[in-house]
Amino acid sequence: MIGFIGLGVMGEPICRNLAKKSAEKVLAFDLKQAPLARLKADGVEAAASVRELAERCHMVFLSLPGVTEVKTVCAGPGSLMLHMHSGGYVVDLSTTTVALARDLHSRFTARGIYFADAPVARTRSAAEKGTLLTMVGSTEPIFKRLRPWLAHFATDIAHCGATGAGQATKLINNMVLFQNVLALAEALALARKAGLSATKVFETLARGSADSFALRNHGMNAMVPDDYPENAFPVSYALKDLEYLFEFARQVKIELPGARQVMAALERAAVAGNREKYFPVLAKTL
């Protein structure tokens, strides 16, 4: 049986794809009952606890908010580390720190359990369609073992290197994305101040050298229409990921001035009451 813990914005659709495409039954756990109720229609069974899931599943996927939740699920009371059987696999799809990924790998390995960090990228829509990108940190044999399972929800599967490399690559990905969004916010402000049509400006940029994933998704779908829902990747998550990024940067002794500018813009958005809104909302407080 396959286990899945964390049924949030990305976790629920990823779990649904696993249930629909995998030959094995899926057992899921979340603190909220609503996603478990929705997934029941897809054949997903609800676990009463992390311990139950750990004892019944040979492979467990995590999709959790951050370091605190991953630590609790993996190594806290009633955790995977205490109750999962030797020879099992834990695949962390969450975005956490490089240091945590390496620590969990070491501790799970000591108990005979295989661990891989495999954070995902792209949008909720991509999660629903099963077209995510996943960045995997693991040994080559573990990567080969996991790849068929990851293919149930990801069309692009990158083996980034040893344990921690998946998280490092995801943090770099988010750094570049956030800086692109900040640049788009400045472009949007300039266009509107000059009396130009933001829609026409962004459509034109998408046909030239300024085109990007951020422009076509965050820019056109959120920033131009001023649509920043709360059921999407929020400012609070972006700030969390930047903290993880700066921790990693300190470890390798590098300064990231562009990322610091994004952090300041996101902090302004949070102070303005937008902490739980979709993170491109930083455009409103530029």
Give rounded-to-5 percent helix, strand, coil for the chain.
55, 15, 30
User: For the purposes of burial, counting CB atoms within 10 Å of the CB of 258, is it exposed (0-12), middle (13-18) or buried (19 or more)?
Assistant: middle
Asked if 170 is an active-site residue, the reply is yes
Catalytic residue, from 32, 71, 129, 170: name it. Answer: 170
> What is the number of other CB atoms lying within 10 angstroms of the CB of residue 9?
16
Exposure pattern of 186-221 as b/e (b: 16+ CB <10 Å)? ebbeebeeeeeebeebbeebeeeebebebbebbbbe
Q: Using DSSP, state whether 158 is helix, strand or coil.
A: strand
What lies within 8 Å, CB to CB, of 36 at 6+ separation is 7, 28, 30, 44, 46
Residues known to be catalytic: 170
